[in-house]
Structure 1
């Protein structure tokens, strides 16, 4: 029997490092204390597009058991043209696949947005058992409003190679980025960043395409200057960990919830966790004990 309760954190390290816009791994036995893999050197780099890969999201295909990483095609090391790259940036995702979490295909550029889109940022995906497809979503500015506001768009795919035309998924009065989704019981819970007040907000949906209902969360409202939410359930427990990136200060930190539907989160003291070195926007999945050991022992 494969024992679960182990975790893999896939992330990038940020543009201030020459190697930071690459993929890094860390592993954990409890979802809170993390150990760097490969001596905190990249396990995967991009040699196509902008030659940078950011905001990695990892997902396992329930039909094939293959793992896929999707990421933002963006390189900002020694650059400061944030406005420009939202208007004339990459309209493609970076895609890499693996059968064993150890050996990854070279990232491929897959165009998902048409002309008029200025960027494709922070992609994530959710498998929809109703349609047997993946819903892939990301943030973009478009020429529709002269690139004034980030909205979240989505497309469907069976194989992360062929995508449907993008549709609008989230539009607010403010720019919205960094959307992440988790399913629990009969609802989806969606977390996104409000780019105006720099806070993360929560919503609940019956289906991926249904109208969301806000989830009131005083703990999230109290936190500003955060982004890159990623959430995962602790295996065998009715507890969820929400990681937020305090991007201008201390970096990623965890909040713990015993009641996801009510949006109840508690920030943990620093003594209760240990984050990976240089961790920026990324995602966490549950892995088996065997996968945990193989990743720790592998020479990337």
Structure 2
């Protein structure tokens, strides 16, 4: 009987802690504007729907890497060390990506160039890098899309400047040393903009089908037992009759929310699901800063948000 009461008390305490954490948290969204020339932008939200730009929509970090000095597709996660780790696209044509870390999203480390595809003579680009942290193995998976000229001829066409992407990856535990680059996922079509997160005892990938002829340009899902794969067959499209890219995902109160860039329509979209099979478009409920391009959503504490709000342009 005492054990039963103890278990009930533990459950009550757990529920109270979860409620407390929910009340003491907010969302932040990293993004870029234009071509990414001025760097990292941040917005915040209390409910995940109404978003307000921070620092009067001025940049928090100016890009320093590559001849192009761009900071496109900024992906930020909170790592196992409690720090914020960010990767981004530094150029349209470089064979590496940018990296920096921060304790508060305000003050950033020196920017580092990670030459993830420099070994590949025929690599044309390294676009839209992302990071996923595996706490069980204390490992970070960094992955991105690259076109290697001559690879995957079965899906090669001339449209879209002849790009024919697949997803590649490296791993690290410290962002100083990295494993050899490998192919992460070949779904059998031109693919880009993947993001990976845990789902039950598996890993879920959301990615863009970049096929141009006949046009797909939509988001799909794929699953794997291990973070490094292999990932199974891609699902049917989960987005609608519009071109979508740059997905980022949150999971709150049993609801999956996928934010994405409706880049042809020059606005943002959002779909939601409780089972990853039936999706509802709630884009009409979403309010984002003007001119926002895609990035990532993550949760921070109210205390961290207060410090961000205090930053002046």
- Range into which the TM-score falls when normalised by the shorter chain: 0.7 to 0.9
- SS across alignment from 2:104: coil
- Matched with 1:80 is none
Which of 270, 277, 294 matches 1:281?
294
In the alignment, is residue 107 of structure 1 matched against residue 111 of structure 2? yes
In the alignment, the residues of structure 2 paired with residue 52 and residue 292 of structure 1 have an alpha-carbon distance, to the nearest angstrom, of 26
For residues 77-133 of structure 1, the C-alpha deviation after alignment (integer angstroms, 9 at most, x for no partner) is xxxxxxxx4xxx211111111112221124222211223222111001111234321
In the alignment, the residues of structure 2 paired with residue 135 and residue 298 of structure 1 have an alpha-carbon distance, to the nearest angstrom, of 31
In the alignment, is residue 178 of structure 1 matched against residue 184 of structure 2? no
CA RMSD of aligned residues (A): 2.1
For residues 211-230 of structure 1, the C-alpha deviation after alignment (integer angstroms, 9 at most, x for no partner) is 3334645642x343111111
Report matched runs for 1:50-199 at 5 Å: 50-62=68-80, 64-74=81-91, 85=92, 89-113=93-117, 114-116=119-121, 117-145=123-151, 149-196=164-211, 197-199=216-218
* Alpha carbons 2:269, 2:283 under 8 Å: kept: no
- Matched with 2:223 is 204
- Matched with 1:294 is 307
Question: TM-score scaled by structure 1?
Answer: 0.85
Deviation at 1:285, TM superposition (A): 0.3
- Where structure 2 has 5 or more consecutive residues not aligned to the other structure, the ranges are 1-19, 154-161
Where relative contact order (Cα < 8 A, 6+ residues apart) is larger, the structure is 1
Which of 56, 71, 80 matches 1:39?
56
For residues 146-203 of structure 1, the C-alpha deviation after alignment (integer angstroms, 9 at most, x for no partner) is 9752110010011223211110011133211000112122121111111111111111
In the alignment, is residue 14 of structure 1 matched against residue 18 of structure 2? no
In the alignment, the residues of structure 1 paired with residue 237 and residue 164 of structure 2 have an alpha-carbon distance, to the nearest angstrom, of 26
After the TM superposition, which of the residue ranges 117-126 and 203-212 deviates more from structure 2?
203-212
Deviation at 1:292, TM superposition (A): 1.4
Deviation at 1:21, TM superposition (A): 5.3
Q: Which structure shows the higher helix fraction?
A: 2
- Where structure 1 has 5 or more consecutive residues not aligned to the other structure, the ranges are 75-84
In the alignment, the residues of structure 2 paired with residue 72 and residue 296 of structure 1 have an alpha-carbon distance, to the nearest angstrom, of 26
* Alpha carbons 2:268, 2:283 under 8 Å: kept: no
In the alignment, the residues of structure 1 paired with residue 283 and residue 109 of structure 2 have an alpha-carbon distance, to the nearest angstrom, of 39
Question: TM-score scaled by structure 2?
Answer: 0.82
Count of residue pairs the alignment pairs up: 277
In the alignment, the residues of structure 2 paired with residue 292 and residue 201 of structure 1 have an alpha-carbon distance, to the nearest angstrom, of 32
In the alignment, the residues of structure 1 paired with residue 260 and residue 298 of structure 2 have an alpha-carbon distance, to the nearest angstrom, of 16
* Alpha carbons 1:156, 1:163 under 8 Å: kept: yes
Which of 243, 246, 254 matches 2:259?
243
In the alignment, the residues of structure 2 paired with residue 286 and residue 92 of structure 1 have an alpha-carbon distance, to the nearest angstrom, of 28
Q: Which structure shows the higher strand fraction?
A: 1
- Matched with 2:251 is 233
* Alpha carbons 1:14, 1:20 under 8 Å: kept: yes
Which of 269, 288, 292 matches 1:253?
269
Classify 1:4/1:203 alpha carbon distance in 2 versus 1 (closer, same or farther; 3 Å).
Answer: farther
Of structures 1 and 2, the larger Rg is shown by: 2
In the alignment, the residues of structure 1 paired with residue 189 and residue 233 of structure 2 have an alpha-carbon distance, to the nearest angstrom, of 15
